[in-house]
Structure 1
């Protein structure tokens, strides 16, 4: 039987509670337990004037940004619309039904001013790390580091050849940040190589084709994670070159120790972090075991003997060739002692020409040279240590656990939708990467720390 026509008859009184209309298993309800912004007003008080109209509540803006990055809402204009309509978002922002949602332009004004001046977004991220530590989610023994390229808000059409440099008429916030970061080892000073193109909209973004496909302008987000539960311990924005990623690794390890008092026993990373200089820094300066493949180009493809075929005697400081002859730095004594290290940080070990001329293995050893030479880095001790670690079961475990950081990058791009930056300049990249890492830690807390069952209201 067809029901009667529904006639809308407004009630005289309504009783409505946002608390009852937000599901108990909603992600934001679980995240809300770990968001403590009680002291944010005191942190920002020095950056507000004592006179004039009251400002937008900074806690409201931060809560809205957390929603945007946790839910993959990339546009602040759309975020304002969603908060205006979504009951769960209003509940998380403490707005109620009658609360006014701020205009999207408010975020830009505060980001370029108070938030960056006070370093608020980094403090917000570090607060999530402290909460993870308090909940026992950080082991502190094994860390992993990696970087992932994120497309910048720039395109090839608005760029100039790199060897021409920026034109004099180029202006804007991103240009000023680029000029300020020219001497920064994470950006302008990361490499002497001139990029093929420079973007007029975002000059600090690096033109790169490292992914193997079409080249694009990009930044790198660098993660240092704890391997126990893949908690992000630190995050750093850099230009998209490998040298900058190694620099970021050192910055993040030192900052984690200074900020949280945690010094890992081992570090897992890919071959890009396996240079002799970086391995020596980890082993000799920081006492960290490098669970990292050694970056080694000594293997040969022509069938001749590689450097691995020449065992090294640490006590006598010399190599032995497959024929049993010795390779030494010097075969005679000089009146004036020589340093023995070239400008590139290598020591050269040479075989005797007399031995090589009479050797039957010369065609397989040094067919194009009068005698065999072997370069040895001054950091070879750290490289040898990394090679020995690579033979252990712990290394195999670290290689498997290192994939956790790659899974975080996949989550960042596919779930949180951060596959392309919306903000420009080094500071814009830092802001986005910090907020995204904050969102990932909060989601991790919500997933691993169960909520107490809510008692329904009577």
Structure 2
């Protein structure tokens, strides 16, 4: 039979517990077990005034930001609405039903102030990494590095071509925050000093972002999100924001490896990366620190089919010479004094040449140097390290490493598809760094929650 009409009736008293209404298998229950913010107030104490109105608890702001980045809530206005309505979010943020949610403007004031001055978000990320290490998810033996383009909050309509861009005409006192940050990073290796080549266009709203067409489609302004991960469980060990150019991305590798050593005493036995990191100086830097480079070598010495390449020549380190397949020598110097035409080129390479008379009379000239009088081989200063990488590429461990490298790409796919970070919301180098740190923290927390889910409790009858 038809039951009575359901009507809401106001009650004078309610007995309500948030704890009883949050499902035992909810993601936030598992994440909450690994979020330790007990030391944040002490960490930020010196950045608060001793007088004035009591502030909003910084732990509440951090918990709300973690909710936003864990569930892909990109807008802080919407985040405040969701926390106001969602019981699980209130429970995680330690808010009762009657507690008021902070205004969205509070996040901006704290982010541009004490959060950046204290590097709180970096501290939060490193605390999460330390927890992953304590739980046994990080061994530090095998690490992988990669970068992904994240679209900046800028567009071409509000930009200037490189021939019309003049930094001397900018007044720092009257410039927006993102422009002031751009001026401050002109001498940093991750941004302005990464390359002398100026981008084709420079954004007015976010000049530190890079105009790029690396995706083989329409060009756009972007930043590069660089991840250093441990391949055991795909935990992000370090993260760095840079310009979207290869020099800056490769340079960030050194920064992150040094920081991992200083903060967590992690020194990998091998580093896995793609071809973009296979430059001579990068490989030399790794080999010097006894890190095996499982990286494809950038090698432009290959010749046309049927022509001898450098691999066909034998290197004799004791005599500082190459020996061609016919048994002839290619030397850098043939006299007692340095010949500038045959010596170092000044670009970190050495040139080895055979004698002209020898090459002209050689029966294999058509296979060696058909278009030149003599055969020349250029050898980089880091050629020994390049050879180490070539030898590693022939091993079975290298094949395993190339499969493990996909874990970095999977993290970037998760970052963009699940967490929704395909386009930045904050501007400037600091804004990009803040977003990347919070996103990496959220990914590590979700990893901990996946590996160690909250224990299920049976409900009382």
TM-score (norm 2): 0.96
Contact 1:160–1:166 (CA<8 Å) still a contact in 2? no
Structure 1 counterpart of 2:192: 188
Distance 1:252 1:60 in 2: 29
CA displacement, residues 334-388 of structure 1 (integer Å, 9 cap, x when unaligned): 3899994321111111111111111122223212221100000111110111111
Query: How much has 1:238 moved relative to structure 2?
Result: 0.2
Query: How much has 1:139 moved relative to structure 2?
Result: 1.3
Structure 2 counterpart of 1:287: 290
Structure 1 counterpart of 2:421: 418
Query: How much has 1:315 moved relative to structure 2?
Result: 2.9
Contact 2:342–2:351 (CA<8 Å) still a contact in 1? no
Query: How much has 1:162 moved relative to structure 2?
Result: 1.4
In structure 2, runs of 5+ residues without a counterpart are none
Q: 2:232 aligned with 1:228, yes or no?
A: yes
Distance 1:335 1:130 in 2: 54
Contact 2:272–2:405 (CA<8 Å) still a contact in 1? yes
Structure 2 counterpart of 1:330: 333
Give the secondary structure class of the aligned counterpart of 2:146: strand
Q: 2:352 aligned with 1:379, yes or no?
A: no
* Mean CA deviation greater in 305-314 or 85-94: 305-314
Query: How much has 1:117 moved relative to structure 2?
Result: 0.4
CA displacement, residues 302-340 of structure 1 (integer Å, 9 cap, x when unaligned): 642221221212333221223222211123333899994
Distance 1:337 1:268 in 2: 38
Distance 1:178 1:106 in 2: 24
Query: How much has 1:2 moved relative to structure 2?
Result: 1.8
CA displacement, residues 245-278 of structure 1 (integer Å, 9 cap, x when unaligned): 1110000000000000110000000011110000
Structure 1 counterpart of 2:354: 351
Q: 2:58 aligned with 1:58, yes or no?
A: yes
Distance 1:99 1:250 in 2: 46
Aligned length: 457
Of 369, 373, 387 in structure 2, the residue corresponding to residue 370 of structure 1 is 373
CA displacement, residues 172-226 of structure 1 (integer Å, 9 cap, x when unaligned): 0000000000000000010111110000000000000111111000000100000
Structure 2 counterpart of 1:300: 303
Query: How much has 1:432 moved relative to structure 2?
Result: 0.2
Contact 2:332–2:342 (CA<8 Å) still a contact in 1? no
Q: Which runs of 4+ in 1 moved over 6 A?
A: 335-339
Q: 2:380 aligned with 1:396, yes or no?
A: no
Distance 2:453 2:8 in 1: 42
Structure 1 counterpart of 2:77: 77
Give the secondary structure class of the aligned counterpart of 1:147: strand
Give the secondary structure class of the aligned counterpart of 1:290: strand
Structure 2 counterpart of 1:162: 162
Distance 1:418 1:336 in 2: 56
Structure 2 counterpart of 1:13: 13
Distance 2:235 2:339 in 1: 56
Structure 2 counterpart of 1:142: 142
Contact 1:166–1:200 (CA<8 Å) still a contact in 2? no
Distance 2:452 2:344 in 1: 55
Distance 2:431 2:190 in 1: 15
Contact 2:229–2:237 (CA<8 Å) still a contact in 1? yes
Distance 2:189 2:5 in 1: 71
Distance 2:159 2:276 in 1: 29
Give the secondary structure class of the aligned counterpart of 1:34: coil
Structure 1 counterpart of 2:270: 266
Contact 1:276–1:377 (CA<8 Å) still a contact in 2? yes
Of 203, 206, 209 in structure 2, the residue corresponding to residue 199 of structure 1 is 203
Q: 2:50 aligned with 1:41, yes or no?
A: no
Structure 1 counterpart of 2:247: 243
Contact 2:342–2:352 (CA<8 Å) still a contact in 1? no
Distance 1:10 1:369 in 2: 96
Structure 2 counterpart of 1:95: 95
**Residues 457 and 117 from structure 1, CA distance in 2 versus in 1: closer, same or farther, beyond 3 angstroms?**
farther
Contact 2:25–2:456 (CA<8 Å) still a contact in 1? no
Structure 1 counterpart of 2:364: 361
CA displacement, residues 64-92 of structure 1 (integer Å, 9 cap, x when unaligned): 00000000000000000000000000000
